[in-house]
Every structure is written in C-alpha cells, then in structure tokens.
Structure 1
Amino acid sequence: MKNLTKIIYNIGKFWLAIILFLAMIISTVVSLPFIVAGKLADFWSEHQIRTNKNQITDYSS
C-alpha cells in the first residue's frame, strides 16, 4: 500500500510539473507579440525625422 501511495504522489508531481511547464510556454508565446510591438514602437519613435526648430528639446526629450 505504501508503494501505491508513493507512485500516486510521484505521478501527481509529474503532472504538476508538466502543467506548470506548459503554462510557462503558453505565457511566453502569448506575451511575445506585445514585446515585439513595443520594441517596434520604440524603434519607430527613435528613428523618426523631427522637424522641430528648437534643437535643444530634441536632445532633452
């Protein structure tokens, strides 16, 4: 009976590890488009040509 308890305990730990691993993979895949969109927005705003006549505000902002 003790062996059956140990087997069930180990199977439970194994399934918990699989569920947590899949949750980690899914959360990474879901968050990647938002990270890429943020990087692209930062890149776009950094490399825009500014036509501001006051050059000091270009460097301080």
Structure 2
Amino acid sequence: MLEAEFDQFAREYQEQHAASIRLSGENPDFFARYKIDDVAATLRRAGVKPRRILDFGAGVGN
C-alpha cells in the first residue's frame, strides 16, 4: 500500500471514529488516553509500574 493510500484510509478512519463517539462529547484522543490510564492503573495495582504502554493494532498508529 502506498503511503498516500494509507493516509487516506487513516483520515477516513479517524473521521468515522470521531463521528461514532460524537454523542459522548469527547474526541478520540480522550478515549486513547483513558485506555492507557486504565491499563497503567491496573498494572500499578498488580505491583508493576510501566514506563511505556503500546496500543498495538488499534487505530492508525498514533
């Protein structure tokens, strides 16, 4: 897939995702941050303090 083609798919995905959560009053970045914070909190409760969390295979690779 050409980079320009991926960029088009990524833009369309972002637009569709934003539209699907619009009623929540939040944007996709809010939910991405929420997932990271939730995973980090779960790991901390288990005694693990991650330096990084990779959200693999989701969205457009932000």
The answer to whether TM tops 0.5 is no
**Higher relative contact order structure (alpha carbons within 8 Å, sequence separation ≥ 6):** 2
